[in-house]
Amino acid sequence: MFGLIGHSTSFASARHLAERLGYPEYAAGDLDMWSSAPPQLVERFSVESLTGRRIEGAYIDSVFVPEMLRRFKTAKRKVLNAMELAQKSGIDSSALGGFTSIIFEDMNLLKEQQVRATTLEWERFTTGNTHTAWVICRQVEANAPLLGIDLAKATVAVVGATGDIGSAVCQWLSRRTGVAELLLVARKPQPLLDLQASLGCGRILPLEEALPQADVVVWVASMPESLSIDVANLRKPCLMVDGGYPKNLDSKAAAEGVHVLKGGIVEFYTDIDWQVVALAADMARPQRQMFACFAEAMLLDFEEHHTNFSWGRNNITLAAMDWIGAASLRHGFQAVGLETVVHLSRSTAGLARH
């Protein structure tokens, strides 16, 4: 069985979801009430692969909302309790979705293996980052040419280059895709130097200098609210892959010739009979689109490869990306492409849908 550990994108949307699902007490509750509410296994579903293999899954709402990030003990408790519930529910592979994997990493929850009477078995969990990294690379490779960008001659900036997903994307783009130039952007200098040394290529630049030079920008860092992008200085065309969480690049980089693609999102070949996931996720086609990290849990279950496949920081190898990529295609996933994004940005801008 596979599991998806997720959360609503905001407290307002969480309350709205509770209202729609028929939990009026939760819809009316304040943030303190939600902070004390335990995780819930809210939905079970079954999924059939292109190969015909059928697996069972469950969605666990951690009852975390991003507004709780400022309450670090609460955030930590939410993630650990959701993981405990997943394990106790007998789920073999659970993906840590949204902020939950970021909290796990940043708060070093590896130290917190004991949750009450339960010893968490790490092999039951994955961050899903290997699949996310592979999908983002595929999105770059498939969509840049559609905009007339020849990757062999292109400059690609990776923002958040030293992170778990960012460093894997840099490896892939430099060794597999073969882009002309890689611009490495991140906050801390030393990890950037280490990354550059391990890649044997790449130019380290501050964000404001990298953006105007890039034909493609892969964004795999969470973006501060205060950040603004000077779209006038961007190259046109420019492909921006928004692989961070939350996805808010489309509102910051909206301009003619700038194409923002929701990064790390995949589409399944057929509809999945889930209701809560469809309501909770902010997807253009919620019955079949999902975060690639969620899909990784499915893939591990389809393949009966029950290990903590993506785990820790900067452990993603090209071989692992190859493996998960092949599994992804075999079982019926494909990376969301630019067509969907054009469609999305049109609807966001209030223009007629096509």
Can you give the binding site for other proteins, defined by CB under 8 A?
9-10, 22-23, 25-26, 28-29, 32-33, 35-38, 40-42, 66-67, 69-75, 77, 81, 84-85, 88, 99, 102-103, 106-107, 116-117, 221-226, 246, 248
Looking at the Cβ atoms of 102 and 151, the one nearer to other proteins is 102
Residue 130 and residue 316 in contact, taking contact as beta carbons nearer than 8 Å: yes
Looking at the Cβ atoms of 101 and 155, the one nearer to other proteins is 101
Beta carbon of residue 26, minimum distance to other proteins (angstroms, whole number)? 7
* Dihedral angle sign, alpha carbons of residues 4, 91, 107, 168: negative
Beta carbon of residue 61, minimum distance to other proteins (angstroms, whole number)? 10
Cβ density class 143-176: b for 16+ within 10 Å, e for less = bbeeeebebeebbbbbbbbbbbbbbbbbbbbbee
Looking at the Cβ atoms of 246 and 337, the one nearer to other proteins is 246
Name residue, tokens 């919620």.
286
Contact residues for 102 (Cβ-Cβ < 8 A; gap 6+): 222, 245
Looking at the Cβ atoms of 12 and 193, the one nearer to other proteins is 12
Residue 49 and residue 331 in contact, taking contact as beta carbons nearer than 8 Å: yes
Residue 147 and residue 258 in contact, taking contact as beta carbons nearer than 8 Å: no
Contact residues for 187 (Cβ-Cβ < 8 A; gap 6+): none
Looking at the Cβ atoms of 99 and 302, the one nearer to other proteins is 99
Beta carbon of residue 290, minimum distance to other proteins (angstroms, whole number)? 20
Looking at the Cβ atoms of 35 and 130, the one nearer to other proteins is 35
User: Which one-letter amino acid corresponds to residue 11?
Assistant: F
Beta carbon of residue 78, minimum distance to other proteins (angstroms, whole number)? 9
Q: Alpha-carbon distance 143 to 290, whole Å? A: 19
Residue 335 and residue 265 in contact, taking contact as beta carbons nearer than 8 Å: yes
Residue 50 and residue 284 in contact, taking contact as beta carbons nearer than 8 Å: no
Looking at the Cβ atoms of 21 and 231, the one nearer to other proteins is 21
Q: Alpha-carbon distance 100 to 348, whole Å? A: 27
Looking at the Cβ atoms of 54 and 73, the one nearer to other proteins is 73
Beta carbon of residue 98, minimum distance to other proteins (angstroms, whole number)? 11
Q: Alpha-carbon distance 203 to 208, whole Å? A: 14
Beta carbon of residue 322, minimum distance to other proteins (angstroms, whole number)? 29
> Which ranges of 230-317 does DSSP label H, i.e. alpha helix?
249-252, 276-280, 292-302
Q: Alpha-carbon distance 217 to 159, whole Å? A: 7
Closest CA to 174 of 192, 194, 195: 195
Beta carbon of residue 307, minimum distance to other proteins (angstroms, whole number)? 26
Beta carbon of residue 150, minimum distance to other proteins (angstroms, whole number)? 33
Looking at the Cβ atoms of 84 and 92, the one nearer to other proteins is 84
Q: What is the DSSP letter of 145?
A: G
Beta carbon of residue 34, minimum distance to other proteins (angstroms, whole number)? 8
110, 164, 274, 320 from 105: Cα distances, Å: 8, 10, 29, 20
